[in-house]
Structure 1
Amino acid sequence: MSELLQQLTRSCFSCGDVLQAAREQAALWQKWLLPVRDDAPVGEDPGYHDDFLLMRDEMNKLSGADTTLICTLAESLLLTQAKDLRIVTYYIWARLHRDGEHGLAEGLALLAGLVERFGTALLPSRPSSRRLVLEWLTGDKMLDSLARFPEVAKADFARIIAALNLLSVSFTAWTEDQQPPSLMPLIHALESRLVQSGGMNAVVPQNSAALSPPVASPLMGTTSLQVINSGRDLLDQAKTLSRYLNEQPRGWLAAHRLMKTLRWDTVHELPPDVDGKTRLSPPRTESRNQLKRLYAQQNWTELLEQADRMFSEGVCHFWLDIQWYLHQALSKAGTPWDRWTAVVRQDLALLLERLPGLEQLAWSDGSPFADDVTRNWIAQQVIPRDEGAWLAGGASVAGESSQDDLLALEPEAQARADSEGVDAA
């Protein structure tokens, strides 16, 4: 078992038998684990079966695969035709793509149960083919689908780690000529995902999916609330509440602070770093460019909307440049927006008081959480608290003007860097 998997196991299971937990999850698939026939426990190669061909056609689609159909076909084939790892891996992908982390946990539990029960008898029969099929779980298609669900649900994540432990134990028992597979790329992706989400002790996931538009349903208009069973559920419902507040007159501040409370006040320590560089993924280049463009266009309401939206995505609540853009947009958008600039400064000051040094950290690519303009603004207008000036709203006009001038010079500096070099810029 790899050291990384052991580390993840310790994070998820401080006590208790992880293999026993995995076997209990696998036992829920008892019907699927039964032999196909007494005389042929794993059945026969389903390669030419109509249902298998239909399933493979769905899997080969670049987009729009019918995941429900894939799951239905997989169940029928596994129960009546063959214990084939191709069918199982297709099923795992479909469950992940459709149901997220919960689907991945259930699919891996099924796989762990099948591997423990049937071992190298599972189809395909050639060791090299079997290995390729299992290592397909570590490929781009799987990891891309996993990336669609950035929030980590602790219970599901623990079940995934338990299943991987059971698989690791089973694969270790395979001889070298049986070519046991390596699932390390998937384990690395899961570990990175957990880091992005703030670890197993995070109250709510620190990594968040983009806000999605409201979806009409028969339940809309009712007053019932969903039961919150995880930090991910809490974050999802907060986004719904925030969306509603944003649609109300002067509701922006309440919506903004609701998300800020959840995303900031549940962070109690700095992200782990090495020489100031964290493992958190940086904001998208197009996001940076969009904010710069809206600022240059002086489109304050759109800048406010986009900066606020980005704050709720990924790990962008650590992207402190957003706070500077919000402050600029509010101060220039007129009433009532300009009355709320002090709130932005106040909230950021409280965050930096709890997490000193946050503004000095950098993303995984080395780019800073707060660029020079933002750090200058923090030093001049956010941190100083002389006689409550940080709440007064009457911040230094000269300081703000100098920061505006600095950002305005950025296009000129970029052009000079292209033509004359970085030193000249």
Structure 2
Amino acid sequence: MTTKTLSTWREQLLASLDEAKISSQLDENSADWEYIESEMIKFGSLSHSTLDIDDIQRRALQLFATQTKDFRLLVHFLRTLQHAAIAEELVIAATVASAYMQHYWDISYPSNPRLKLRLTQQILKRFESVKNSFCQQATPEQRDDILGEFAYLAQFWHTSQPSLSTQMDELSQAYQHQAYQHIENTQKSTIIVEESVKKEPINEVKTPSQAPVSVTSEAEQHHVEINQSDDRQWKQTLLKVASILCEQAPNDAIGYRLRRYAIWHNIQTLPMSDKQGKTPLAAVAIDRVTDYKAQLAQPTLTLLNQIEQSLTLAPYWLDGHYIAAQAAQSLGLTHIASAIAQELSLFLARLPQLNHLYFSDMTPFISEETRQWLNSLESKTNNKASSSLSLQSEQQEIMTCFEQEGLNAALLMIDNAISITTEPRQRFYLQLLSAQLFEASKMSSIANVYFNQLYQDALRYSLSEWEPNLLSQLASKAEHQQNSSSHRE
């Protein structure tokens, strides 16, 4: 099933009909409807193998396009996509359901709200029953897609059908929880954890200055295919590179910065919310958060990796970044903790209203504790920023370091410089230097991802974003000139 198929189906589902037909009941004598009804009985029975799913779908779509938008027809159509528990088809089912509800929920047959509610619960129960299968198969982008559709439906029913909205929130939480479980199980079987990290006392974990971890050469890396066909594919490309960097150089912050860029770069607007700031988004399960916090007493790199993975699935779980930073700090990775804080601060500076939004259970996106942590670090950064070198001399020092001490030492210098810079322009050029150093080190896959990221960023920058201090100076000069003119008059 392809995007083209979904597009064609949407056209048929949403095909224009006159008002009478849209709200009409299916003709019980329709040959197509009789066929569909008779075939539905076979689902899960001994006759299941005789089902012609394609024909059922074709007939249902034809009825949608020409006869009616009867809700019962949608229930049957979605069942053909839900029953096999195939991830791609379940995403399509959720997408079709959202499109239908948006256009026909209030006006389609049956008009009896109790009957329509009961039929809707059948749809939701089928989504609930296949969550395990979905999470075992689904790609990260498919998880994002289906959770996005669930969030839309929760918001759609928020006022008119609060019980359905609550069920959608619970469904989202169930899918998220199952996704976390699957990822954890996968990590346990694929990630090699050094036993020495587990056994060492926390205060003996070596910091980057004691034992820098080398980034491997191009020949030893995984090949990264750059896919910019859409935002989701580009996000996955960035996350893959971030994972490689964090795996090969766990003491360097560059991978942690890139991961956060991947999570947040395409979030340009706020999620839907009501007057109280409540969104339809499900909060991360409280038992998971409690477990992470309990493990902070004796953190490991495995714990940090698990928290980081959870963050890729929950872009608005801002408190999770504080937990990740605490784990990094306890492991002696102070500069990584600082990098996490700075990236979170930049995200909040771009969308400050996130400070006032809540998940569906009224858990805040960011707690007061996390906010205080950011404020304390920002004041320290501001004190350091005044003593930073000029961009040109800074770059020269980094290049000298690269030539004399190698890539890892140079990347550490770049990250330290980024952590105290306040100018987007300076930050951009430092990131560009990172890409150039990767390229000079024959690590073209990673370098190309960085070059693409920077190119996209450059297209979005406005002058006020690029040179905020310059704009402030000009505004001050203009105001001074106006005041001088007023006094002369």
Q: Does 1:42 align with 2:32?
A: yes
Please say if 1:346 is aligned against 2:331: no
Residue 13 of structure 1 corresponds to none
Q: Decide whether the 8 Å contact of 1:143 with 1:186 is kept in 2.
A: no
Query: Taking structure 1 as the reference length, what is the TM-score of the superposition?
Result: 0.50
Which one of the candidate residues 53, 74, 80 is aligned to 2:53?
Answer: 74
Residue 294 (structure 1) shift: 0.6
Residues 17-38 of structure 1 deviation map (CA, whole Å, 9 limit, x = unaligned) = x999623888xxxxxxxxxxxx
Q: From 1, 4, 11, give the equivalent of 1:22.
A: 11
Note if contact 2:57-2:80 (Cα within 8 Å) is conserved in structure 1.
no
Q: How does 1:168-317 map to 2 (within 5 A)?
A: 212=183, 213=186, 225=225, 227-250=227-250, 253-271=253-271, 272=273, 274-296=275-297, 298-314=298-314, 317=315
What's the CA shift string for 1:312-359, capped at 9, x where partnerless?
113xx332322222222222213xx23323312322232232233534
Q: Amino acid of the residue matched to residue 338 of structure 1?
A: T
Task: Check the 8 A contact 2:81/2:93 in 1, yes or no.
Answer: yes
Asked if residue 139 in structure 1 is aligned to residue 135 in structure 2, the reply is: no
Deviations 1:56-98 (A, max 9, x none): 2499xxxxxxxxx879643467789xx9958644313237743
Q: Distance in 2 between matches of 1:133 and 1:71?
A: 28
Partner of 1:397: none
> Which structure shows the higher helix fraction?
2
Structure 2 CA distance, aligned partners of 1:104 and 1:223?
Answer: 33
Q: Distance in 1 between matches of 2:282 and 2:294?
A: 22
C-alpha distance after superposition, 1:190-222 (max 9, x if no partner)? 9989x99xxxxxxxxxxx965854999xxxx99
Find the counterpart in structure 2 of residue 55 from structure 1: 43
1:378 and 1:369 map into 2 onto residues whose CA distance is 14
Q: Partner letter of residue 324 of structure 1?
A: Y
CA offsets, 1:35-64, max 9 Å, x none? xxxx983386788x8x866632499xxxxx
Structure 2 residue runs of 5 or longer lacking an equivalent are 1-6, 16-28, 64-71, 102-107, 136-141, 154-159, 191-220, 387-415, 421-489
| Deviation of 1:372 (Å) | 3.7
CA gap 1:375/1:289 in 2 versus in 1, 3 angstroms = same
**Alpha carbons 2:359, 2:365 under 8 Å: kept:** yes
Relative to structure 1, is the Cα distance of residues 244 and 57 closer, same or farther in structure 2, using a 3 angstrom cutoff? farther
Q: 1:326 aligns with which of 321, 324, 333?
A: 324
User: What is aligned with 2:384?
Assistant: 388
Q: Are 1:91 and 2:80 matched, yes or no?
A: yes
Contact map agreement 1:95 1:103 (CA 8 A) in 2: no
Q: What are the superposed Cα offsets for residues 250-286 of structure 1, whole Å, 9 maximum, x if unpaired?
A: 3763432222002223333444453344433211112
Equivalent position amino acid for 1:99 in 2 = E
**Cα shift readout 1:289-320 (whole Å, capped 9, x = no counterpart):** 11221113x22434322221221113xx3323
The CA deviation string for residues 364-399 of structure 1, in whole angstroms up to 9 with x for no partner, is 2222233343232122223554333697989xxxxx
The whole-number CA distance in structure 1 between the counterparts of 2:248 and 2:51 is 44
- TM-align CA RMSD: 5.7
Counterpart in 2 of 1:379?
A: 375
> What residue in structure 1 maps to residue 351 of structure 2?
355
